[in-house]
Structure 1
Amino acid sequence: MDHPVARRTLLAGLAAAPVAALAIPGQANATGATSTAERLTEAFTAYGNSGRGWTGADSTYSVRLPGDRQLWLFSDTFLGTVDPDGSRPADSPIVNNTFVVQRGRTMTTIHGGTAAEPAAILSPDQADSWYWLGGAYLGAGALNVMFLRFERFGPGMWDWAWKENVLARFDVATLTVKSLHPMPSGANVQWASWLQRIGGHTYVHGVEDLGLTKHMHVARVAGDDLRRPWQYFTGDGWSTSEQDSARVMAGVGNEYSVTPWRDRWLLVTQDTNTLFSNEIVGYTAPTPTGPFGDRRLLHTMPESGLFGSYGDPDVITYNAHEHPELRRDDKVVITYNVNSLTFTDVLEDVTKYRPRFVEVQLAP
């Protein structure tokens, strides 16, 4: 298959806009206790280096499951082993989507196919196509995960494009697919950036990806079942026509989060107005549809670019969002992805294709 680095490159980007207030990264508290982010980093490092499945991936969504399980959901995933020098074998398997189930510090990788010939959990029937996953939530008696189908249309590195949105419903106990459902896909919006069940509705945040410009869109359904009729935010109300969906805000990432925080809503994203910047920013709004303001610098990603921690101009960082089930008061856990524009980089150094975990103390 195509290597994941090239395909994910277009998802990266961030701008350096004025900052209204700062949040303070919280890697350890005043007593020196280990933060949630540090514990997760240690757990994934140990598991990724163990040779028992996952060795690196991107997307990094998560859901708390019954049975004291934390589910991590990934798109393009390396499987296999890690050599003692921290490299991946050149023949390491790559699949387009996987789950990792965590109980404490014990982790298990779920993928399709067999151990000898692994495959994605979910693959399209269409030729030259694949699924990357997006937001997920528990509702309507299932684990609901939005998938984006992409399709290749030519032999070139960039000859691929998004085609449609699909909802997969998984059995909560076994994590096997129960059913697959086409979702609205007629307005050039990838409805998978974030799913949030709250009150009487489930909100769906998506992105209209025009390349260098990306716009937030918002939809919702009554209750907790995305198979019900959708409504689309028009800018001043709701419509049953997807074509009426309004551009809410420019400059979001392909993946971002919009979650309740105090009496407001918190948006965590990259600001894609400028490509390959290294800041994660937050905004607040009175409603899940905005208007989003009070821009805050949440974290500066140190890995990016020639002047980053790797000293490598090909290293990129992208797709930051929160994990609200891990929030402790005003301390939020955010992940972002590290990748390289050069495929051999992610083989020679496993850390160049693994998520990062940071804990941020939000200022009221």
Structure 2
Amino acid sequence: MRQLPGHPGRPGDTPFTRVAGGSSAAIANRDRSCDKNPAFRYDGSGTECDEYPFATTSQTTTSPFSAMPVPAAANNRQGNILSDGILKNRINVDDLYYVVVKTSSTRSGSPAKNSTLNTQFTSYGDNAGCADWSGGDATNSVQIPGTSKRAWFFSDSYLGAPSDRRNLFATSPIRNSIVVQDGSTMRTITGGNTCQELNQDLDFFKRYAKTPAADPDGGFFWTGDQVASGGDVVKFYYHGRPNDIAWVNDYAAVATLSGSALSAASTSAAPTMTITPSKLSCAAGGPDAMWGTMVMRWSDGNYYIYGTGASVPHKLYLARASAANLTNFSGWQFFGGSDLRTATGSGTATWTTCARAKPLPIGEGATGGSIDYINGTIWLIQDDYVNPNSFSVGTISAHPSQTPWGFTDRRIPLYDPPEGTHTYPTTTGCTSRGSRTG
């Protein structure tokens, strides 16, 4: 069965080669990928190792591969499915075969969600006191260094009970907020002056809560990404200011937040912080990138900081910095191009000054996204525009790459927003009943 009639393989496909289950080759494969692999750790809950490619293939230890802890019952069911497939398709030892993965699509349907976390935030928001978070957008989070607590960052946020928003004056909207989650307990960090909305002894404009990261010159800060560094959290923001139509984002900024202060907030009834972000800008021109929309640490020890161009159409830019230079903009290096191999997203990058930075080889997308390293591949998840010049929102897609700079228009569609294509500014409106996490 060296030839595979009717299935020559798609471009880029590699067939598997079967080895006998229980053979020395299979046992050695399983040892390398699971039992004796120092990178794999069981989670201590009675799980078993689910390796892919299978231990019964000679490709088990080639890259990329996956070895994850799964429930024993699920592992047994999957093993039975594999055995049945080998028998039904008469795949003998040393035969070549392909695995075709079929999934039930969530596109145009409901995306996966963390029901427990969603319920916790809904309960917290719906039962908010006058100093508590009850809704916000642009959500991201980080585990506070040295603790099991998590800091959640939001841009525009509501404080107070959702029902109090009906009269417009009984609650405070603030430009950014932080919620510290300690297990089932949550505390909202503001800039102070909470619970004064109905205090008629104060001047009207002094009755409302302050934001933790405030701009004294009449602008505002919205939340970017963040990363734990040492005992602190390095937090990126982008600055906005009102204009004749709505607003414009004009620069990025960064601040260092004390991990111990964030942790202590979970024990305070109404914690406050004063955050003063520092402006990031190229002294000699360069892209008008909102640096810090995404941040990741790579295997070379550097932090890779992504920035979305503020001008239309939005380009994606990249810089890198050591841990010591993460908040020192003059110590950053900027992507200046690469000998990219499009099929894999690999290749060697060149690094230059901010003024000579070039965009990554990926088409225009929305002004934010998520990035992570999963099973040997870096994944960029973003909302790909239908028409970037008119801000037409399209499909949420995952773009794979082998390097932090190798993202292209190669993508895997994940989800079509059920509302359909929107153009900016959105004119369909939105409600503010109940609490939302963005």
Gaps in structure 1 of 5+ consecutive residues: 1-20, 27-34, 307-315, 319-338, 357-364
Give TM-score scaled by structure 1 length. Answer: 0.71
CA distance in 1, matches of 2:260, 2:427: 38
Classify 1:305/1:36 alpha carbon distance in 2 versus 1 (closer, same or farther; 3 Å). Answer: closer
Identity across the alignment (%): 22
Report deviation, 1:103.
1.7
Question: Which residue of the partner structure matches residue 266 of structure 1?
Answer: 379
Give TM-score scaled by structure 2 length. Answer: 0.59
CA distance in 2, matches of 1:291, 1:122: 32
> Which of 238, 241, 246 is equivalent to 1:151?
241
Greater strand share, structure number: 1
Are residues 1:221 and 2:321 paired?
Answer: yes
Deviations 1:239-271 (A, max 9, x none): 341121111122222111222121111001000
Are residues 1:90 and 2:168 paired?
Answer: yes
CA distance in 2, matches of 1:67, 1:76: 27
Question: Which residue of the partner structure matches residue 334 of structure 1?
Answer: none
Greater helix share, structure number: 2
Report deviation, 1:43.
1.1
Deviations 1:81-109 (A, max 9, x none): 1229xx75422311111001112222111
Equivalenced residue count is 288
> Which of 205, 221, 230 is equivalent to 2:332?
230
Are residues 1:125 and 2:216 paired?
Answer: yes
CA distance in 2, matches of 1:184, 1:346: 36
Gaps in structure 2 of 5+ consecutive residues: 1-101, 197-207, 263-272, 339-348
Q: Which letter does structure 2 place at the counterpart of 1:39?
A: T
Report deviation, 1:75.
0.4
Classify 1:239/1:51 alpha carbon distance in 2 versus 1 (closer, same or farther; 3 Å). Answer: same
Q: Which letter does structure 2 place at the counterpart of 1:269?
A: Q
8 Å contact kept, 2:179–2:186: yes
Report deviation, 1:222.
2.2
SS in 2 for 1:234: strand
8 Å contact kept, 1:76–1:97: yes
Report deviation, 1:277.
3.7
CA distance in 2, matches of 1:258, 1:286: 12
SS in 2 for 1:83: helix
SS in 1 for 2:123: helix
> Which of 139, 142, 145 is equivalent to 2:229?
139
Q: Which letter does structure 1 place at the counterpart of 2:214?
A: S
Relative contact order, CA 8 A, sep 6+: which one is greater? 1
CA distance in 2, matches of 1:23, 1:294: 21
8 Å contact kept, 2:137–2:157: yes
SS in 2 for 1:355: coil
8 Å contact kept, 2:214–2:276: no
8 Å contact kept, 1:231–1:238: no
Question: Which residue of the partner structure matches residue 125 of structure 2?
Answer: 48
Q: Which letter does structure 2 place at the counterpart of 1:164?
A: Y
SS in 2 for 1:217: strand
Classify 1:280/1:216 alpha carbon distance in 2 versus 1 (closer, same or farther; 3 Å). Answer: same
Are residues 1:297 and 2:379 paired?
Answer: no
CA distance in 1, matches of 2:229, 2:167: 40
Classify 1:191/1:198 alpha carbon distance in 2 versus 1 (closer, same or farther; 3 Å). Answer: same
The structure having more radius of gyration, on CA atoms, is: 2
8 Å contact kept, 1:149–1:166: yes
SS in 1 for 2:319: strand
CA distance in 2, matches of 1:276, 1:291: 21
CA distance in 2, matches of 1:254, 1:164: 13
CA distance in 2, matches of 1:241, 1:22: 44
Classify 1:276/1:103 alpha carbon distance in 2 versus 1 (closer, same or farther; 3 Å). Answer: farther
Please report the RMSD computed on the Cα atoms of aligned residues, expressed in angstroms. 3.0
Q: Which letter does structure 1 place at the counterpart of 2:240?
A: F
8 Å contact kept, 2:294–2:369: yes
Question: Which residue of the partner structure matches residue 11 of structure 2?
Answer: none
